[in-house]
Amino acid sequence: MLQPVAPASGRLVNLQAKMEGTSAVVSATYDAGVRAARWSIAPNGDVRLDYEFDGPGLVDLLGIDFDYPEERMQSKEWFGDGPYRVWANRLKGGSLWRWDTEYNDTIPGLTWQLPEFKGWFARWVWMAFTTTEGRFALLNDGGAPYVGAYSPRDGKNNPVLTLPRLGLGVYQVIPAIGTKGSLPSNLGPQGQPHDVTGPVKGSLVVRLLDQP
């Protein structure tokens, strides 16, 4: 399921399907949330998504999310900054390279399997996932500086995260992280919500790599 993270869900107002050359194209428009989504299916199986939604104003998290079951996930690999995840106020320190991480559900302060699987990653070119159903990849075709995998877990005491349930997604805005003693909004300009207004556009490709 494709859903916006931040804008309200909308009602489908138009749906069209046609052939453009050798590609099948399905276009949908909505009255809120994701205003337009255009799916193009190429003969080689690549599925391209071009989307547009309205910037909702002040947000801590903004992007497009795919509701892929977490229990089927085994590992991920990507080309981008890594190997550790980033936050809006902790973007430095990563190295641009090809990385891979086995699935884990690390809880800060309780478990120490590093680097963490969940979270957001910057300067990404592609991210591939190995699941019990096979392998597929998200390819960055512009508009989303971050890619993410599920909602990071919080620590045992003094929780500092308030996040929705997330799947796999691409994001224009990611949240900042606080500390045990302070909210992220009290830690400087990078910890403040982002003001996003006007149309937000992006493109990505979903590529099936292999099946079990």
Token pair in block for residue 149: 């995998």
If you average pLDDT over residues 14-37, what whole number do you get? Answer: 94
pLDDT at 151: 94
Mean pLDDT over the full length of the chain = 90
The C-alpha atoms of residue 96 and residue 79 are separated, in whole angstroms, by 7
Q: Reduced to 3 states, what is the DSSP secondary structure of residue 54?
A: strand
Strand partners, 16: 27
The position carrying tokens 């500390």 is: 179
Structure-derived torsion over alpha carbons of residues 136, 46, 121, 156, reported in degrees to the nearest 10: -40
pTM of the shown model: 0.91
Cα 153 from chain centre = 16
Decide which of 192 and 155 is more confident. 192
pLDDT at 158: 58
Contact by Cβ (8 Å): 207, 46:
yes
Domain 2-210: which CATH number of 3.40.710.10, 3.30.1240.10, 2.70.50.60, 2.70.98.10 = 2.70.98.10
Contact by Cβ (8 Å): 147, 101:
no
Q: What is the DSSP letter of 8?
A: P
